[in-house]
Amino acid sequence: MPITNHSLWRANANDSFVTSPLNGDLHSDLVIIGAGYSGLCAALQAAQQGMSVQVLEAHTVGHGGSGRNVGLVNAGLWTPPDEVERTLGQVAGKKLNHALAAAPDLVFSLIQQHQIECEPLRHGTLHCATNSAGLRQLKQRLAQQVQRNAPITLLGASNTEQRTGSHQFLGALLDPRAGTVQPLSYALGLAHAAAKAGAVIHTQSPALTHQHNGTHWLVKTAHGSITADKLIHATNAYDTLSPHNTAFTSVDYVQFATRPLTHKQRATVLPNGEGCWDTNQVMSSFRMDESGRLIIGGVGSLNGNGKAKHTHINWAHRKLKTLFPHITQYEFEYMWDGHIAMTSDHLPKITRLGTNSIRLYGYSGRGIGPGTLFGKAAADWAFSGDEDQLPVAITNPKPETYTNFKASYFDMGATLSHWLSCRF
């Protein structure tokens, strides 16, 4: 059967969140643009603190990266902690590293507190070494994490094979702080919790303009407007206000999900349920969901010409067979892609849009933990005005250079890499 060009997460989300578009003119303490992890967590936290909150979402809750995520709840960033501190400075870097190390605690505590049904599994993640250079990289990361008292373990090839079911890796870093979720169901759960706390979420309501009139922010949609004291812009890579945004490079990530594997097959693949990604220059990921579907992901897009799409499909088959050659009977059932907001230094940003307004973006592929954390911190800022509560300092917007060129470079590089992997 042909693969459905549709997100698995959208197909099997255990809930929905349906609201009406904004119709009319409203006032609130806080207006939030974007109903992904950051916007929803900000709405929840602000509403719990007694603020009146209005959220504008151009499509549906979790339409963007929050509903297209791999679903790995990781601690920290892809960028090693030493590099974070070199880039930001020791004090600011330590602050961000410390905050993000605890991000999985925040995510899983919200899931428990609000009884969010999103297949939460906190059995850790595995960063898998595909070659000797990758193993050296993992050893360097381990040393940096040990210095920060992180409970990280470097597994040898044999233990990695036992945990993954694949003999392709020389080792792996196991981070027990991390885990996996059904990413869209997590976003939907946050939306329900925010609404219960008093926030009002308007879907199918893209923000068309936003401006400060000297006293308040005025955000207009096609059929209404919201006047608010403070504004949080939290669309990340899915920005309707600035479609030609140059604040980051948009990188695409594609995923393929099989039909549920047999019980015998499931026993041989990730028996503990860890989420995984590798050390390849063109990174790929793999994980299982609660129904026993094996999900393979990598940099790439399903848009564009048919040859590129076919290349990524062939790569996914080749990747699965290379990792798990014993799985000979399977079918891919779903495929989908999404955008990642990649900054030049791979660090998340908070920029100032104007008086009493900030923008959150640039999670660079680590959306769940950082997105949740930054959203909560943004709400605390909106409530108190205290910028010290934010995990990074607010900076003035600074356009990045050659973002379109870099986006094309990533896309062509991923397509070429996937094509070559199928040729040899």
Mean pLDDT, the chain, whole residue set: 93
**pLDDT > 70: percent of the chain:** 94
412 pLDDT above the threshold of 60: yes
pLDDT in tens, 298-311: 999 898 766 788 89
pLDDT in tens, 74-89: 999 989 999 999 999 9
pLDDT score at 418: 73
| SS3 (DSSP) at 38 | helix
| Residue 424 pLDDT class (50, 70, 90 cuts) | low
pLDDT score at 92: 98
Give the mean model confidence (pLDDT) for residues 392-413.
78
Give the mean model confidence (pLDDT) for residues 213-220.
95
Q: Can you give the residue ranges of every domain in the chain? A: 4-124+177-423
pLDDT in tens, 176-208: 999 999 999 999 999 999 999 999 999 999 999
DSSP code of 155? E
The span from the CA of 332 to the CA of 42, in Å, is 36
| Residue 417 pLDDT class (50, 70, 90 cuts) | confident
Element (H, E) at 319: helix 306-323
| Residue 403 pLDDT class (50, 70, 90 cuts) | confident
Q: Is 280 exposed, middle or buried (0-12, 13-18, 19+ CB in 10 A)?
A: middle
- The architecture that CATH gives domain 4-124+177-423 is 3-Layer(bba) Sandwich (3.50)
pLDDT score at 241: 77
pLDDT in tens, 97-146: 999 999 999 999 999 999 999 999 999 999 999 999 999 999 999 999 99
Give the mean model confidence (pLDDT) for residues 405-411.
67
242 pLDDT above the threshold of 90: no
Strands (DSSP E) along 80-148, which ranges? 125-129
